[in-house]
Structure 1
Amino acid sequence: MNNSAENLRRIQKSLKKRYFVERCFLWSGRAAITLGLLAVLVLFVDITSKGYGAFRSTEILLDIHYDADALGIDNLHDEKQLAFADWDVLLKNALREQFPDASGRKERKQLYGLVSNGAGFDLKERLIANPKLLNTSEKVWIIADDDIDTYYKSWLSGDPYAERMSEKQIQWIEVLDEQGAIALKFSKNLFTRGDSREPEQAGIWGAVMGSLFTLAITFCLSFPIGVAAAIYLEEFAPRNRLTDFIEVNINNLAAVPSIIFGLLGLAIFINFFHVPRSAPLVGGLVLTLMTLPTIIITSRAAIKSVPPSIREAALGMGASRHQVVMHHVLPLSMPGMLTGAIIGMAQALGETAPLLMIGMVAFIVDIPQGFTDPATVLPVQIFLWADSPERAFVEKTSAAIMVLLSFLIVMNMTAVWIRKRLERRW
């Protein structure tokens, strides 16, 4: 009896110790997950707090008179006249009418600095789109300079940032606010324009189009090549040292730093084949090399998940090996392949280092219209804006990060949806 009681106490003590260790392990896992979620939450809150302001821009309401004599044009269809017309004079005249007390060269320069340097070209596009406006007047919301935008947003929040503002400009902004002639409006430039030296004129649309063209090239090349390689290695390749060597190298390539692929693309595609630098075509080729190992590995895993009984049943019915693969194995493994491809595309969308090596860090103002046009991509655009000294580019950088994260979240959610919707449980 004594021995039984002693053994029982030992067992209970051992169980308590084991349960304690299990609880510690459980709570360690929960703490790790909580810490990770908190870190992600802090990151999102920080980015959102800095970038949400970029989705709105400060605009000033001015009474614009499209004076043909002041512009020096009499024919809106004459490209030469349009090119040499002084479009800024329309803004200067409107500002002087709004604030006639501005006198002296210095004050007038500060007055003209209320609006963006590129606002005159906006009026040009407006007049070309509606020629009847010539020699007439209308009230137009004009985008403000980036310093005015920064000050006005901070002023509304109760913590005005007036480091680059003059006393006169502050007074004029207060007058405009009292008149209801200055307001925050949705920033169309952010989603309709390319890069610019002026923060208020800069947009992400050029980078978005560059990313779309680059990803289109990447998907069209990497997905069929990756799936074909996976099918060959898994279904047809003989098991020997050569295939083992290929498999090891594919796994190693998946862990190679992405900048190495950029150097490879620079040496082969640009220096040897002379593919246009800073174009979506060469960017897509480089990212294809980078995503191929990921797609091959995930595609092979999807093929392996198909039960052998499917193959045996098809062979038993008289199908050839090619028919087994194309009619049975490939359709059943396609959801897993698509999931891996989308994850690979999401990885390619967020890459910067390999694209820097092939010149996609260039300053591109125009929106790319094709695969060979000069372009940049969204991560590189973020890199360029983050290095800009203007304070207003901080908002633009954070807003571009928010857009990029939104694309990545959508792509990963799509991959999860495809997997849940189409995959089969065996």
Structure 2
Amino acid sequence: MTDAALSPTVASPANGATRADRMRAGLKRRRARETRFRLYGLLAIGVAVAFLLLLLGRIVEQGHTAFYAHTVTVPVYMDPARIDRSYPQGTNFELLVAEQQLARLGIADDEAGSKATAMRGLFSSELKFIAADQVKAQPDLIGRTVPISAPLSDDADLYFKGEISLDTPAEQRRLSDQQIAWLEGLQAEGRVKSHFNTALFTRGDSTEPELAGVLGAVIGSALMLLVTAVIAIPLGVGAALYLEEFAPRGRLTNLIEVNINNLAAVPSIIYGLLGLALFINWMHLPRASPLVGGLVLALMALPTIIIATRSSLKAVPPSIREAALAMGASKTQTVFQHTLPLAMPGVMTGAIISMAHALGETAPLLLIGMVSFVPGVPHGITEPTGALPSLVYIWENASERAFHERTAAAIIVLLAFMVVMNAAAVLLRRRFERRW
């Protein structure tokens, strides 16, 4: 038994070869696992990029047609018997143009006026305002035949964009065969022109899809972000400075930190309910105004700014603080003259990202009344207005088909805003960031 216990168990060449084989097999399995892990990572990135491209492609496919529109130019006889010289806006120019177009085509209207109504349906309601403004500016046009250029109606515009086709059964489209024939005739005469849709960026919301624009929503979003930045950034940075640099460590500080982290995960609709109860019902601030919207978004952005600022302050090496204090600087001088300037790239990045996140929020805005139809452009932070996210919600729920392409166009504008803000954050970080 003693000889057996003392005899070596791995001294033979066979045992050595077996151990080496096991080591090589283990290394091979480790390398295979590492290779699979890398492939899984590449697959995850590929799937994410594919879904992103699918989303962006679908939005661009649906919304690119909103960036161009069609206008029609028709000759109009300014009939003195039907135009009120003192008040041209009271003239029914739509019916006047429709009847003259039917007469030019040699088509007699019926007693119910259905053909004139069908012809009127090809022109936007903007036609009457354009004609009235021309007569008001030049009264001598009355009695003469002048060309009037006006947008086509939303359905006629969709036909030239290929969204309405003759192949579709007549009962499933809003343009009749006769109306499509009239449009083809106008196009053959060279009266229909395609152009960049400047109205999309120079007008506010409208009940007419061909006249609706995003200007009011863009200005409303900009005013809200201005209010949010003025309130949230100073408060957030100040709170982070106190908690990180001045607050004594204890249970109260730990409780505040935990609550701030929890507030960053609160659903945005809760902030909307808080804003409705606090700012509108209790403080009686104007409903659907950029002021209320900015206050609600500021409450939502505060936790993100505080967390980002504290992380940036922690990233500053302690040696900076120690050196400043050793040279005789006070705690306040150390924080505001050394620590905060060095942490500023991260602070600005967190602030901009929180603003970009606030720009895309919809639920809080719906609860404070920004889902209402507001046709004008706001001129102050207390006037009712819309915002880009709420405009997307309103247009997507509209019954007119032409609003759907404008919904995608508004999403593109919103994404462009967010890309610009995130790009600014990246550039600021790269410009001012220091490596330790």
Q: How many residues align?
A: 419
Rate the CA distance shift 1:159–1:342 in 2: closer, same or farther, 3 A: farther
Rate the CA distance shift 1:123–1:248 in 2: closer, same or farther, 3 A: farther
Give, in angstroms, the shift of residue 32 of structure 1. 0.4
Q: Secondary structure at the match of 2:282?
A: coil
C-alpha distance in structure 1 between counterparts of 2:282 and 2:164, whole Å: 56
C-alpha distance in structure 2 between counterparts of 1:364 and 1:349, whole Å: 19
Match of 1:103 in 2: 109
C-alpha distance in structure 2 between counterparts of 1:52 and 1:405, whole Å: 14
1:150 is aligned with what amino acid? L
Match of 1:60 in 2: 72
* Preserved CA contact (<8 Å) 1:102 1:111: no
* Preserved CA contact (<8 Å) 1:90 1:120: no
Moved more, 254-263 or 319-328: 319-328
1:336 is aligned with what amino acid? G
Give, in angstroms, the shift of residue 177 of structure 1. 1.4
C-alpha distance in structure 2 between counterparts of 1:90 and 1:203, whole Å: 28
* Preserved CA contact (<8 Å) 2:205 2:373: yes
C-alpha distance in structure 2 between counterparts of 1:170 and 1:161, whole Å: 13
* Preserved CA contact (<8 Å) 2:166 2:177: no
Provide the alpha-carbon RMSD of the alignment.
2.1
Give, in angstroms, the shift of residue 402 of structure 1. 1.0
CA displacement, residues 59-82 of structure 1 (integer Å, 9 cap, x when unaligned): 1111245566633124xxxxxx36
C-alpha distance in structure 1 between counterparts of 2:366 and 2:133, whole Å: 34
Match of 2:408 in 1: 398
Does 2:262 align with 1:256? no
Where do residues 7-406 of structure 1 align in structure 2 (5 Å cutoff)?
7-65=19-77, 70-74=82-86, 81=87, 84-88=90-94, 91-92=97-98, 95-96=101-102, 98-104=104-110, 105-125=113-133, 130-131=137-138, 134-135=141-142, 137-154=145-162, 163-406=173-416
Moved more, 225-234 or 138-147: 138-147
Give, in angstroms, the shift of residue 141 of structure 1. 2.6
1:366 is aligned with what amino acid? G
* Preserved CA contact (<8 Å) 1:71 1:89: no
TM-score (norm 1): 0.93
Give, in angstroms, the shift of residue 124 of structure 1. 3.9
* Preserved CA contact (<8 Å) 1:155 1:161: no
* Preserved CA contact (<8 Å) 2:89 2:129: no
The gaps in structure 2 that reach 5 residues or longer are 1-12
* Preserved CA contact (<8 Å) 2:219 2:378: yes
Match of 1:77 in 2: none
CA displacement, residues 99-154 of structure 1 (integer Å, 9 cap, x when unaligned): 342522111111111101233224445556x5477436543331011111112211
* Preserved CA contact (<8 Å) 1:253 1:293: yes
Q: Secondary structure at the match of 1:230?
A: helix
Give, in angstroms, the shift of residue 89 of structure 1. 5.2
C-alpha distance in structure 2 between counterparts of 1:131 and 1:155, whole Å: 38
Q: Which has the larger radius of gyration?
A: 2
* Preserved CA contact (<8 Å) 1:262 1:355: yes
Q: Secondary structure at the match of 1:6?
A: helix
Q: Secondary structure at the match of 2:285?
A: coil
Where do residues 402-421 of structure 1 align in structure 2 (5 Å cutoff)?
402-421=412-431
C-alpha distance in structure 1 between counterparts of 2:100 and 2:321, whole Å: 78
TM-score (norm 2): 0.91
C-alpha distance in structure 2 between counterparts of 1:282 and 1:141, whole Å: 41
Moved more, 87-96 or 18-27: 87-96
* Preserved CA contact (<8 Å) 2:280 2:286: yes
C-alpha distance in structure 2 between counterparts of 1:133 and 1:209, whole Å: 39
C-alpha distance in structure 2 between counterparts of 1:11 and 1:58, whole Å: 74
Give, in angstroms, the shift of residue 409 of structure 1. 1.1
**Identical aligned residues as a percent:** 47
2:157 is aligned with what amino acid? D
C-alpha distance in structure 2 between counterparts of 1:35 and 1:233, whole Å: 41
C-alpha distance in structure 1 between counterparts of 2:233 and 2:163, whole Å: 51
Give, in angstroms, the shift of residue 158 of structure 1. 9.3
CA displacement, residues 82-107 of structure 1 (integer Å, 9 cap, x when unaligned): 65454535644653464342522111
* Preserved CA contact (<8 Å) 1:303 1:329: yes
C-alpha distance in structure 1 between counterparts of 2:164 and 2:281, whole Å: 53
Q: Secondary structure at the match of 1:213?
A: helix
